[in-house]
Amino acid sequence: MNPLLQPYNTAPFSKIENAHFLPAISKLIEETKEEITAITSNPEAPTFKNTVEALENTGEQLDRATSIFFNLNSAETNDEIQKIAQEVSPMLTEFSNDMLLNEALFERIKTVYNQKTTLNLSEEQQMLLEKKYKAFSRNGANLSEEKKKELRKIDAELAKLKLTFGENVLAETNKFELHITAKKDLSGLPDGVVEAAAQTAEEKGKEGWVFTLDYPSYVPFLTYAANRELRKKMAIAFGAKGFNKDELDNQQNVLKIVTLRHERANLLGYESHAHFVLEERMAETPEKVQSFLNELLAKAKPAAQKEFNTLTAFAMELDGIEFLEKWDGAYYSEKLKQKLFNLDDEKLKPYFELKNVINGVFTVAEKLYGLHFEEVQNIDKYHADVKTYEVKDTQGELVSIFYADFHPRAGKRNGAWMTSYKPQQIKEGKNDRPHISIVCNFTKPTTSKPSLLTFNEVTTLFHEFGHALHGMLANTKYPSLSGTSVYWDFVELPSQILENWCYEKETLELFATHYQTGEIIPMEYVERIKESATFLEGMATLRQLSFGILDMTWHGFSAAQKTNLLKDQNVKAFEAAVFKDTQLYPDVKENCMSTSFSHIFQGGYSAGYYSYKWAEVLDADAFAVFKKEGIFNKKVASKFKEFVLSQGGTMDPMELYVKFRGQKPDPEALLKRAGLLT
C-alpha cells in the first residue's frame, strides 16, 4: 500500500520508500486532472465558488506528496531520489502547463474575472481571483496553439536543467576534501574545528584531519588557518564548483537556463525574464531594481574601498602581505576584528550552544507572539538528526507542527532554508494548521563538545526561524495565499527583522550562557557584538550588491545587450564585465560565481536576489519601531503579527507594511544601521 496515496496528517516518512514516489505522483496528477475536468464540465455558469475556489481546492494530496519529495531531494537526497527527480520534474511541469494552458478552464476564470466588480468579494477573495487569472494570463493562456507547444518544450527543459545544476553543485561539494596529515598545517585553527576535522577523517576511514566544502568546515578554515597555501586551495575549490570543465561543469547549464528564460519571457510578450518576474514584485520593474542597487552601490563603494585599504594595510603590517587575495579576506578580517574589538568567534562560541540558542529563539517567539514550543517524539522524521515540535498558543491550541534539521551530511545541500510540508488554510469552518520546517548546516557536536555556534550561525538560525514564524502564524482562508506565499521581495522581511534581536542585550541574556559554567555572556561581549555589527559593512554590502547585479544582468538585459556581454558564450568573461564596478579582490581565474549560484539557477531567486537588500530596508525601518517602543513590546508585536506575519499574500505587501508602520519604509534606516551614512 502506497502511504502517499492514503490520508495522513504529518508526513509518514518512515513508511515511505523511494519506490513510492513515482507511482504516487503519477496517480495524484491523474486525480487532480479529474478534479479540473469536473470544474470545466460543470454545466452551471462560472462563479467564484464553482470555478476559482474549486480550482484552489484541487490537488491538495499532490501538493503534499511533491513537497515531501522535493524537500527530501534537498535535505536527504541520494542517487535514486535524484534520478526520480529527473523523471518527476518534467511530469509536474507538463501537468502545470496542461492546467495553465487549458482553454476551457481559463474561459471560466476569465468570465468570473470580468464580473469581479459586481461579485461583492472579500479582499482575500479578490486577491485569489486576481492571482488565479494572472497565473493563466502570465503563463501562456492567451498564446496560439503553436506558441503553447513552444512554451511547454521550454518549461520541460528548464525543469530538468535546474535539477541538473543543483545536483552538480552538491556532487562538487561532496567530491572535494582537504586531507591534512601534518599537525603544523593546523596552525591557527581552534581546537573545536580541529576535533571536528579529526572526526570527519575517522568517519572517512582516514588518518589525520579532513576538511570539506560544507560551511561548518570551510568557513572556519578560511577564517583561522594560518597556512595561506592551504586557504588558497580550499578557496579555489569552493569557487570552482561547476567550473571544472568535466561532467559536473555547469557553464552550459547556466547559458541554456538564461537563454530559455529569455525566450520564454519574449514568447509571453515581455522584454526579459526580469520584466516578467518583477511584474509580480514590490519593485515592479528592472529599471527600479537597477536604480535601487545603484543608489546603494554609490553609498557603499567608497566605504568598502576604504575598508579594503585598511584591511590590506593591516595584512601588510602583520604578515607582509602586499596584495590581498580572496582567500585572505576572512582570515585578516577576523584578525582585525579581534584587534579592534577584542572579540572573536572562539570567545563567543561557548555562549552559543545550539540547544540554548534554540530555546532562546523559542523564548523570543513566546515573548512576542505567545507561542509555546514542546519537543515531541511521536512525529515521523526523515533522519535521526531532525527535531520535531508542537507549537501551541496561550490557550493551548495547536498553532503548527515544526521540524528542525540542523547539521550537514552527504545528502544535504549547503546553506539554510525554511520550507513547508502542509500549508495553513481555513476549510469548511476549520482552521487547518501548517507543518513548517527549517533546514540548516551548523557545526556538529564532537566527542568532547556539544554543537557550539558562531555568532553568524546564531543570526542564521534567527533568520530561518523568522521565515518559520511567517509560516506558523499564517491565518488566511486559501492555502495559495497563506504564510510565505507573498511577493518575493517581501518574503525576507519576517526573516531579516528577527536577526536584529540577536544584537540586543535583553535577548542575549535569555540564552547566551556558557555551556560549561552556565555564566551569562559578559556585558562587555554584548557591547562588542553591537559595536562590531557594522564592521566591514561596506565590503559586505558591496558583495551582496554584486550578487544582485549579476542576477539582474543575467536576467534583465535585452538579447542584444546580452550577446555583446557574453563574448562567445563565455560565462567567466560575462561575469568579469558585470563585477568590474563591485570588485575589490583580484579575480581568480579558476573560479566562477554563476556555476554554483544555486539561488538563481536552481532556487526561486532568479531576477530576485536584490530582494535581500530590498527587505533589509523594510526590516531596518520596521525594527526602528521595536527599538523605540521596546523590543518585546506586545502592542508592536501584535501589529506586526496582524499585518505582516498572519496575512500572507492576501493584500498588496506595501499596503500591509503601511498598516503596520503607518508610513512607507525609509531607505535611510538601512544606511544608518549599516553605518554608511556620513
Specify if 286 maps to a domain. no
Burial profile 265-289: b = 16 or more Cβ within 10 angstroms, e = fewer: bbbbebbbbbbbbbeebbbeebeeb
Q: How far apart are CA 412 and CA 422, in angstroms?
A: 21
Q: Which three cell numbers stand for residue 650?
A: 492576501
Give the relative orientation of helices 123-137 and 103-114 as an angle to the nearest 10 degrees: 140
Give pLDDT, residue 494. 97
Q: Is the pLDDT of residue 68 over 90?
A: yes
Closest Cα to residue 652, out of 126, 291, 273? 126
- Binned at pLDDT 50, 70 and 90, residue 672 comes out as confident
Q: How far apart are CA 538 and CA 303, in angstroms?
A: 5
Mean pLDDT of the region 402-410 = 95
Q: Find out whether 389 and 374 touch, Cβ atoms under 8 Å.
A: yes
- Binned at pLDDT 50, 70 and 90, residue 566 comes out as low
Give pLDDT, residue 365. 98
- Binned at pLDDT 50, 70 and 90, residue 88 comes out as very high
Alpha-helical (H) ranges within 176-272 are 191-203, 215-224, 228-239, 251-267
Query: What is the total count of domains within the chain?
Result: 2
Q: What are phi and psi of 312, to 5 degrees?
A: -65, -45
Least confident range from 125-129, 301-305, 598-602, 663-667: namely: 663-667
**DSSP assignment string, 9-76:** SS--GGG--HHHHHHHHHHHHHHHHHHHHHHHT--SPP-IIIIIIHHHTTTHHHHHHHHHHHHHHHHS
Closest Cα to residue 536, out of 655, 383, 675, 635? 675
CB contact set of 149 (below 8 Å; sequence gap of 6+): none
pLDDT digits (tens, 9 = 90+) for 318-335: 999 999 999 999 999 999
Instruction: Please pick, among 464, 537, 575, 616, the residue that the annotation labels catalytic.
Output: 464
Give pLDDT, residue 561. 66
Q: Is the pLDDT of residue 162 over 70?
A: yes
Which residue, chain included where needed, has cell 504564510?
A: 483
Specify if 270 maps to a domain. no
- CA torsion, ordered 190, 193, 198, 204, to nearest 10 deg: -160
Closest Cα to residue 468, out of 493, 501, 494? 494
- Which residue, 222, 239, 256, sits at the end of a domain? 239
Specify if 446 maps to a domain. no
Q: How far apart are CA 61 and CA 90, in angstroms?
A: 19
Strand arrangement of the beta sheet that strand 435-439 belongs to = 372-375, 387-392, 398-405, 435-439, 417-422
Q: How far apart are CA 300 and CA 152, in angstroms?
A: 43
Measured CA distances, 255 to 251, 567, 599, 645 (Å): 6, 12, 16, 38
Tally of CB atoms within 10 A around 316: 14
Does 204 share its domain with 76? no
- Which residue, 118, 142, 166, sits at the end of a domain? 142
Strands (DSSP E) along 428-508, which ranges? 430-432, 435-439
Q: Find out whether 62 and 32 touch, Cβ atoms under 8 Å.
A: yes
Q: How far apart are CA 372 and CA 389, in angstroms?
A: 10
Give pLDDT, residue 667. 81
CATH code at 46?
Answer: 1.20.1050.40
Measured CA distances, 171 to 69, 410, 618 (Å): 19, 9, 37
Does 122 share its domain with 192? no
Q: Find out whether 335 and 228 touch, Cβ atoms under 8 Å.
A: no
205: left (phi over 0), alpha (psi -120 to 50) or beta: left
Grouping H, G, I as helix, E, B as strand and the rest as coil, residue 399 is strand
Closest Cα to residue 178, out of 74, 323, 327, 73? 327
Q: How far apart are CA 484 and CA 548, in angstroms?
A: 21
Does 15 share its domain with 124? yes
Does 33 share its domain with 119? yes
Q: How far apart are CA 441 and CA 443, in angstroms?
A: 7
Q: How far apart are CA 128 and CA 651, in angstroms?
A: 10
Degrees, nearest 5: CA angle 548-569-90: 75
Tally of CB atoms within 10 A around 295: 12
pLDDT digits (tens, 9 = 90+) for 175-209: 999 999 999 999 999 999 999 999 999 999 999 99
Q: How far apart are CA 457 and CA 443, in angstroms?
A: 9
Does 111 share its domain with 199? no
Mean pLDDT of the region 521-532 = 92
Mean pLDDT of the region 129-155 = 95
Give pLDDT, residue 678. 58
Does 119 share its domain with 232? no
Q: Is the pLDDT of residue 567 over 70?
A: no
- Binned at pLDDT 50, 70 and 90, residue 564 comes out as low
Does 42 share its domain with 100? yes
Closest Cα to residue 554, out of 268, 163, 274? 274
CB contact set of 313 (below 8 Å; sequence gap of 6+): none
pLDDT digits (tens, 9 = 90+) for 579-603: 999 999 999 999 999 999 999 999 8
Mean pLDDT of the region 556-573 = 75
| Amino acid letter, residue 608 | G
Give pLDDT, residue 676. 79
Specify if 652 maps to a domain. no
Does 125 share its domain with 218? no
Tally of CB atoms within 10 A around 29: 20
Q: How far apart are CA 44 and CA 50, in angstroms?
A: 8
Tell me the percentage of the chain whose pLDDT exceeds 90: 93
pLDDT digits (tens, 9 = 90+) for 451-507: 999 999 999 999 999 999 999 999 999 999 999 999 988 999 999 999 999 999 999
Give pLDDT, residue 562. 67
Sign of the dihedral defined by the CA atoms of residues 147, 153, 155, 158, in that order:
negative
Cβ neighbourhood burial of 665 (10 Å; 0-12, 13-18, 19+):
buried
How many residues does the structure list for the chain?
678
- Binned at pLDDT 50, 70 and 90, residue 76 comes out as very high
- CA torsion, ordered 228, 229, 234, 236, to nearest 10 deg: 110
pLDDT digits (tens, 9 = 90+) for 356-391: 999 999 999 999 999 999 999 999 999 999 999 999
Q: Find out whether 21 and 29 touch, Cβ atoms under 8 Å.
A: no
Give pLDDT, residue 671. 82
Is 464 noted as a catalytic residue in this protein?
yes
Q: Residue 32 sits in which domain range?
A: 3-142
pLDDT digits (tens, 9 = 90+) for 636-666: 999 999 999 999 999 999 999 999 999 999 8
Which residue, chain included where needed, has cell 479582499?
A: 123
Does 8 share its domain with 132? yes
Q: Which three cell numbers stand for residue 152?
A: 511547454
Give pLDDT, residue 670. 84
- Which residue, 95, 116, 142, sits at the end of a domain? 142
Q: Is the pLDDT of residue 560 over 80?
A: no
Specify if 481 maps to a domain. no
Does 194 share its domain with 113? no
* Local structure of residue 521 (DSSP, 8 states): P
Q: Which three cell numbers stand for residue 536?
A: 566591514
Q: Is the pLDDT of residue 565 over 70?
A: no
Specify if 509 maps to a domain. no
Which residue, chain included where needed, has cell 526561524?
A: 465
Does 12 share its domain with 75? yes
Mean pLDDT of the region 204-218 = 96
Q: How far apart are CA 121 and CA 139, in angstroms?
A: 25
Task: Please write down the HEC assignment for all residues of 571-611.
Answer: HHHHHHHHHCCCCCCCCCCCCCCHHHCHHHHCCCCCCCCCH
Task: State the chain's mean pLDDT as an integer.
Answer: 95
Specify if 134 maps to a domain. yes
Q: Is the pLDDT of residue 568 over 80?
A: no
Specify if 256 maps to a domain. no
Tally of CB atoms within 10 A around 54: 18
Does 137 share its domain with 70? yes
